[in-house]
Every structure is written in structure tokens, then in C-alpha cells.
Homo-oligomer: A and B are copies of this chain.
Amino acid sequence: MKAMAEKKRNKYFRILEAAARVFAEKGFHKAKISDVARLAGVADGTVYLYFKNKHDLLIKTFEEIMEHVNEMVREICKEDISPEEKIKALINGHYELAKEHPHIVEVITFELRQSYKFMKEYENKKFKEYLRLISLIIKEGQNSEVFPKEINPYIASRAFFGILNETMLQWVVSKEKYSLDEISEVVSRIILKGLTKNQS
């Protein structure tokens, strides 16, 4: 019995995994359900046993990936380090994720944007949660007076996402040019000096 539940669970995640790859490679509109099914090793119809429709599959794929990211963020939040060190760790965490799962970056980049337009009804809780987690760290820094209070943490969290997403994408699309270390250093420099209060 347990084995069967396990098997089912496996199939669900196999489809999700396949969807992530296909969406990353082709984008939502060019991705065919049959592509996903073939990559997952199931029949087309089977996808519909686990997901309501293509759109639902997109949302579930996005959420799975964002949950993965949020988990990483939460881990860092819990650590007993300074807000500045958390920001630094977060930045590195993002690039490590990009290195391990490059298609995560593509799905986030492309499909998150879709959500602004085509999934307006879809609340996108996971991305909201992501922004909330980032803004919490910024607030923490503001409370301990290392980050300036004039900065709106929500806008800053969005800026943080924008800078990271774009540079991760840069690396994923053209890996040869810059090393992740180099990118990480530049970005950390900009964000930390940018966020940090003037020592005057």
C-alpha cells in the first residue's frame, strides 16, 4: 500500500520535473503536453490525472520551484548571523541554486512574468512569500540599524529579486562569459554597500 502511494507520488513529481524542464526549454506556449508526458515517461492522458490542465501544471511547477527557493531563504533566515551576512548568504544561495538547477532560473524568469499578465486571478502566494522573507531580513537590518530606515523594505525586496534574477539569467544563458563567483562578488558589493547605512 505504501509502495503504491509512493509510486503515485513519484509519478506526480516525475511529471512536475519534466514540466519544469520543458517549460524552461520552450516556454509555456511552445511547450506541448505531449513533450512533458514523453519526458516523464507517461501517456498524455496521465498528465491530466495529476493536473487539471496545462495552466494548472504551470502553476504547480512554479510553486514547486518557488517553494524550493523559499526553503533555501528560510534556512538562511534562521541562521544566527547578522543581516548583512544573511544578505550575502542569500546571494550566494541563489547562485548555487542557479548552478545546480539552471532551469529553475528560466522557469522563474519566464513564467513569473506570464503570471503578471495571464494569471492575474492566481494569487502567486509563493512569490509573495519570497518577497516577504527578503523584506523581513531588510527590516531586521533596519531594526539593528545597519540598514537605513528610509528604504521601503518591500520595494527593496523587489529590487533584490530583480538584480538577482537578471544576473542569474545572464549566467544561465551565456555560461562561458563570467563565473558565478565574479557575478556574486559584483552583486554583493552593489547590494550590500547600497543597503548599508552611511558610516558617517
The complex places the Cα of A126 from the Cα of B87 at a distance, in Å, of 33
Which chain B residues border A161 with CB–CB below 8 Å?
166
Indicate if A114 sits at the interface (CB-CB under 8 A).
Answer: yes
The complex places the Cα of A88 from the Cα of B173 at a distance, in Å, of 29
Whether A166 contacts B159 by the Cβ 8 Å rule is: yes
Whether B110 contacts A117 by the Cβ 8 Å rule is: yes
Which chain B residues border A116 with CB–CB below 8 Å?
169, 173
0 or 1 for each of A29-67: is its CB under 8 Å from B? (1 = yes): 110000000000000000000000000000000000000
Q: Which residues 84-112 of A sit at the B interface, judged by CB distance below 8 A?
A: 84, 87, 106, 109-110
Whether B151 contacts A195 by the Cβ 8 Å rule is: yes
Given A151-B195, A173-B116: A156 in contact with B110 (beta carbons within 8 A): no
Which chain B residues border A167 with CB–CB below 8 Å?
155, 158-159, 162
Indicate if A152 sits at the interface (CB-CB under 8 A).
Answer: yes
Q: Which residues 114-160 of A sit at the B interface, judged by CB distance below 8 A?
A: 114, 116-118, 138, 141, 145-148, 150-152, 154-156, 158-159
In the complex, the count of this chain's copies comes to: 4
- Count A-side interface residues using an 8 Å CB cutoff: 57
Indicate if A11 sits at the interface (CB-CB under 8 A).
Answer: no
Indicate if A187 sits at the interface (CB-CB under 8 A).
Answer: yes
Whether B189 contacts A151 by the Cβ 8 Å rule is: yes
| Nearest CB in chain B: distance from A127 CB, A | 11
Whether B197 contacts A194 by the Cβ 8 Å rule is: no
0 or 1 for each of A175-191: is its CB under 8 Å from B? (1 = yes): 00010001101110111
